[in-house]
Every structure is written in C-alpha cells, then in structure tokens.
Amino acid sequence: MSNQQTFLRDAMRRLNMTREAFATRIGVSRRALDTWLLPDDSQESRSMPEIVERFVSEILQHQTETTQSVHKHQSLADAIAFEGRPQLLSVDQFSRESVEALFLVADIMQPIARRQKISRVLEGAVLGNLFFEASTRTRVSFGAAFCRLGGSVCDTTGFTFSSMAKGESIYDTSRVMAGYVDALVVRHPEQGSVAEFARATNIPVINAGDGPGEHPSQALLDLYTIQREFSRLGKLVDGAHIALVGDLKYGRTVHSLSKLLALYKGIKLTLVAPPGLEMPSYVIERLGKHDMVIEQTDDLEKGLAGADVVYATRIQKERFQNESFEGYRPDFQINKALIDSACGADTMIMHPLPRDGRPDANDLSTDLNLDPRLAIFRQTDNGIPVRMAIFATLMGVDGQVQRSMRDATWRRPAMVGPDDAVFHGID
Ligand code: NCD
C-alpha cells in the first residue's frame, strides 16, 4: 500500500471518522477522497494535493495534543495505575481516552514491530516471564516485545517445576522475583492470583491470564486490530455489531474484550455459547451498565447474522468442573459455509488462538485459512506493538521511543507469512 493510502487510513482511524465525515472535515468531495484511497495500480487512482496532506497533518497534530492533554497533569501510566502502581491487571483500569492514548503509543511502535527500525529504550532492563499455565504466543510475544525495546528476558514455564509446587506463597515468589527483575509478566491458573503477585511488589506486573479471570493485553490487541481493520473498511468501532462465540464461561479473553468494547458507543454484542458455557452473570451485569445492546443465543447461524466481527474462542476443556462434555455439539463449528451464509464480505473473523484445528472440533475451522476476512494472524502480529506500548508506558519510556529509533540493518522478508494479504505486508 502506498504512503498516501496508509496516511489517510491512519488519519481516519485516529480521528475515529468514517470516509464521509472525514471528507467533510477536510473539505473535499467523497469522490476525491475515494480516488486517493485507491491502490496505485488502479486507473482511477489520484495523488492527493500537498496542501491536503499538510492540512490533515495539522488536524492530527491537534488531535494528538488534545489526547495528551487529557493526561496533562497525569502520565498515561498514572491514569491506568493499579492501586497506585504501574501495573496492568484488568481492562477495568482503562477509560476510552487512555485506551486511545495507549494505541497512539502502539502506532509509534509499528516500525519497530515490523523490523524497519530498532530502539534500545529498555536497555539494561530485565523482564521476568512467569508462566504457571500453558502458553506459546503470549509468553513469546511479551518476551519479543521487551527484547525489541532493548531489554532482556528470563523465563519460567509450568507449575510442577516452580517453587510453588513446594508450597511457596505468591507473596514470597513475587517479592523474590522483584529483587531479580525490573518487570513481571505472570500467567497463573487461579482467578485473582496475578493481582496478589502485583500487591506484593512495586515493580510493573502484567496479568497475562489469571485462570478464567482476565487477559487484558489480549483484549487490547484485539481492539487495536478491530480499529485498524475497520479503518481499512471505512467502519467505526462505535455502533459495531460484534459476535463473541464459543466458551464464554471460561474464556478470559472474551471477559476482557467485552468490557473494553463497553467503553465505545452503541455496540451490539451477540453472545453465542453452547448451553452451560454462557458468559458469567457478573460480566453481563457489568456490561449492562453501559450503552450496549446484549443478545444471547446458542444458535450459531442466528447469532452471526449481520455481525461486523465474529470473535471465535476455544472450548476451555481444561477448566471444566461439572460441565463434562455437554459443551460439545456436532454443529458448533465456525467454518466457511457458515460464514458465507451468515456474514458479509466485510466481516472480520478473529480468534485469540490457539484453535483446535481437528476436522470436527467445536472451534474455528481451518477451511477459512485463505479467506481475507480471517484476521487471526494480523491479530497475533499486532500483539507485538501493543505489548511494546504497555511496557514502554508502565516503565516510563513511552515519550523516548520516537527519537530513539535507528534503521534496522538485517535482511527481512517482504511479508512474514506466504499467504499474507498485500495490505498487511511488512511495509
Ligand atoms: C488464550 C488464553 O490463554 O486465554 N490464548 C491466548 O493467550 N492468546 C485463549 C485460549 O487459551 O483459548
């Protein structure tokens, strides 16, 4: 995609404007704007005049200053602090303004995440990655994000090989680790346990999943992905119809994501779960306090109809207590036939991954792999800039990143995945 198209799409996303509203704001016809947004090889494509570019840049500059002035007397880290400390335990710590401010930091991180630039703002800092539960992408993406800012990572995985298996308390483990490292990322099978870790130390602690509780960094990268994809499609998050599908009872990613979406206006949320695996009532009660329409069903075809986003999740069998296998049904699979019949050409299909890719699994089918609506790898890619933004913010270097950047010198492929769509190439 040319710079012109990226520039205009980014501008619309940052300003939260539809094409129509944006064209009006910058005083051009909708048709002119459309021609500037067309791919370079299209016959109708036109270059936008330089004066328009300057005007849009000024509007963006003004908007950035306004967003920053929301926190004039307070840094972003202070605005989202957990009990006064720079820690991230729940999406409840965010307002719409602070989410948008974090996404601006994530945007700054994109050239580093895409391996065009390097930065060493966290040089000398050490991250402790403590995963007492299974993980691949969350652990590695937190580690890679920290390394890409110049820090180093110490990892531990599994419960059996940790001192907790010898009866050590969370308090002791947390205090000991705080003497070794400068920030902690913790995943633990019990809800509320990561907050216990956080209370036992003053260093930054990030919740990477506390049992069926929350997974705030996943929800942030999900919302960031929705915003970026919507800007390409000319849609806004406000007023969107989002279907959350699968094990909504134990899936922590949907608990965090639904609460984050509640910060936006006029969202319609359709909750599609097999009987027995519905969204917990404490989450629904919280959502009910917001300007949000909530519908619940166990009928996949009905629930997906007209959705702008289908967010599928895995059945969390490892957390089942009395549910046995009642959540399993032969017809509960999101596959190409279902998406083609219930959804439109603009529907985004998301999943936090891992998905159960076996042929009859009650999960997101692999037959959608080459479908451009499938956003799952764009989602995982966005995990890096978002997690970099979280670290930079909590560790107080978010303001230094921009001027710290140098060119990356190693050779990199034009696209990281062989089937990636053009708009998601590295450049
Ligand atoms: C999820 C998790 O651990 O909650 N994975 C992830 O972090 N992306 C989802 C899952 O395990 O199903």
Is the CB of 216 inside a 6 Å radius of any atom of ligand 1?
A: no
What pLDDT is recorded for position 16? 84
Ligand 1 atom 7, closest CA = 138
The amino acid occupying position 153 is V
Nearest CA to 401 out of 88, 70, 117 is that of 117
> Would you say residue 425 has pLDDT above 70?
no
pLDDT per position as a tens digit, 117-130: 999 999 999 999 99
Cα(15) to centroid of ligand 1, in Å? 31
More confident residue, 343 or 27: 343
CA 235 to chain centre: 18
Pocket test for ligand 1, best of 253, 316, 380 (most atoms within 8 A of CB): 253
Tell how strand 117-118 and strand 406-407 pair up.
Answer: antiparallel
Greater confidence (43 vs 254) lies with 254
Atom number in ligand 1 closest to CA 313: 12
Is the distance from the beta carbon of residue 252 to the nearest atom of ligand 1 less than 6 Å? yes
The C-alpha torsion from 369 through 370 and 372 to 378, rounded to 10°, is: 50
Confidence of residue 78 (pLDDT cuts 50, 70, 90): very high
Residue closest by Cα to atom 11 of ligand 1 = 354
pLDDT at 284: 97
pLDDT in tens, 176-233: 999 999 999 999 999 999 999 999 999 999 999 999 999 999 999 999 999 999 988 8
pLDDT of residue 40: 85
Place of tokens 């308390």: 169
Q: Residue 424 above 80 pLDDT? A: no
- CB 235, CB 242: distance < 8 Å: no
Q: What angle do CA 293, 294, 298 make, to 5 degrees?
A: 150
* Closest ligand 1 atom, residue 208 Cα: 7
Check whether 156 has a pLDDT greater than 90.
no
pLDDT the model gives residue 142: 98
Q: Whole-angstrom distance between the N-terminal and C-terminal Cα of the chain?
A: 8
Which mutation among 91, 138, 207, 245 tests ligand 1's pocket best, with the greatest number of atoms within 8 A of CB? 138
- pLDDT of the residue at 360: 86
Give the pLDDT of residue 324: 66
Mutate to test the pocket of ligand 1, among 133, 137, 218 (most ligand atoms within 8 A of CB): 218
> In this structure, which residue's CA is closest to atom 12 in ligand 1?
314
pLDDT bucket at 68, cuts 50 / 70 / 90: low
Q: Which of the pair, 142 or 322, is modelled with greater confidence?
A: 142
pLDDT at 64 over 80: no
Task: Tell me, using a 6 A CB cutoff, whether residue 215 lines ligand 1.
Answer: yes
φ/ψ of 397, rounded to 5, equals -115, 10
Encode pLDDT of 394-412 as tens digits. 999 999 999 999 999 999 8
Query: Ligand 1: which atom is nearest the Cα of residue 316?
Result: 12
Cα of 288 from ligand 1 centre, angstroms: 25
Three-class DSSP category at 252: helix
Whole-model pTM?
0.88
314 Cβ below 6 A of ligand 1: yes
Position in ligand 1 atom list of the atom nearest CA 187: 3
Atom of ligand 1 nearest to the CA of 253: 4
Tell me how far the alpha carbon of residue 235 lies from the centroid of ligand 1, in angstroms. 27
The residue type at 324: S
CA 322 – ligand 1 centroid, Å = 21
Q: Say what the pLDDT of residue 423 is.
A: 58
Our answer on whether the CB atom of 209 is closer than 6 Å to any ligand 1 atom is yes
Q: Among 116-125, 239-248, 353-362, where is mean pLDDT lowest? A: 353-362
The mean per-residue pLDDT over the stretch 157-175 comes to: 83
Ligand 1 atom 8: the closest Cα is on which residue?
Answer: 352
Q: How far is the CA of 221 from the centre of ligand 1 (A)?
A: 13
Between 324 and 248, name the one with better pLDDT.
Answer: 248
Q: Does the C-beta of 137 come closer than 6 Å to ligand 1?
A: yes
Average pLDDT over residues 350-374: 93
In this prediction, residue 247 has a pLDDT band, given cuts at 50, 70 and 90, of very high
> What is the Å distance from ligand 1's center to 313 Cα?
8
Query: Is the pLDDT score of 374 beyond 80?
Result: yes
Cα-only R_g, the chain? 22
Residue 2, pLDDT above cutoff 70: no
Give Cβ neighbours of residue 424 (< 8 Å, ≥ 6 apart). 378, 381, 415
Q: What is the pLDDT confidence band of residue 327, given thresholds at 50, 70 and 90?
A: low
How confident is the model over 260-319, as pLDDT tens digits? 999 999 999 999 999 999 999 999 999 999 999 999 999 999 999 999 999 999 999 888
Has residue 70 got a pLDDT over 90? no
For residues 326-340, average pLDDT: 84
At residue 166 the predicted structure's pLDDT band, cuts being 50, 70 and 90, is: confident
> What is the share, in percent, of the chain residues with pLDDT greater than 70?
95
Q: What's the one-letter identity of residue 117?
A: K
Measured in angstroms, how far is the CA atom of residue 207 from the centroid of ligand 1? Answer: 13
Tokens 């049904």 locate to: 329
